[in-house]
Amino acid sequence: MFSFEGRQIPAEGELSIAAALVRSGEPAGLFCAIGVCFGCLVSVNAGPPERGCVTVAQEGDVVSRAI
């Protein structure tokens, strides 16, 4: 489970952040789903922007939109 803009999002296994967001019904800006575009940029634990479609969700992460 990780936090996305104040909401708890379940993520089991090796699920990407973007996939977990889509599965939970949250529009995540997922477009290409292979790390080529910038539609799913997120900040994880207040870090620099990264592509949510290729970043594996980790227990306890705090995720927010980067765009």
Whole-angstrom CA distances from 36 to 8, 27, 40, 45, 47 are: 27, 18, 10, 22, 20
Global pTM value = 0.89
Spell out the SS3 assignment of 19-52.
Answer: HHHHHCCCCCCCCCCCCCCCCCEEEECCCCEEEC
Q: Which CATH architecture has domain 2-65?
A: Roll (3.10)
- Collapse the DSSP code of 67 into the 3-class scheme (helix H, G, I; strand E, B; otherwise coil) and give the result: coil
Domain ranges of the chain: 2-65
Residues with Cβ within 8 Å of residue 12, at least 6 apart in sequence = none
Q: Which pLDDT does position 28 carry in this prediction?
A: 66
pLDDT tens digit sequence for 5-49: 999 999 888 999 999 999 999 876 778 888 888 889 999 999 999
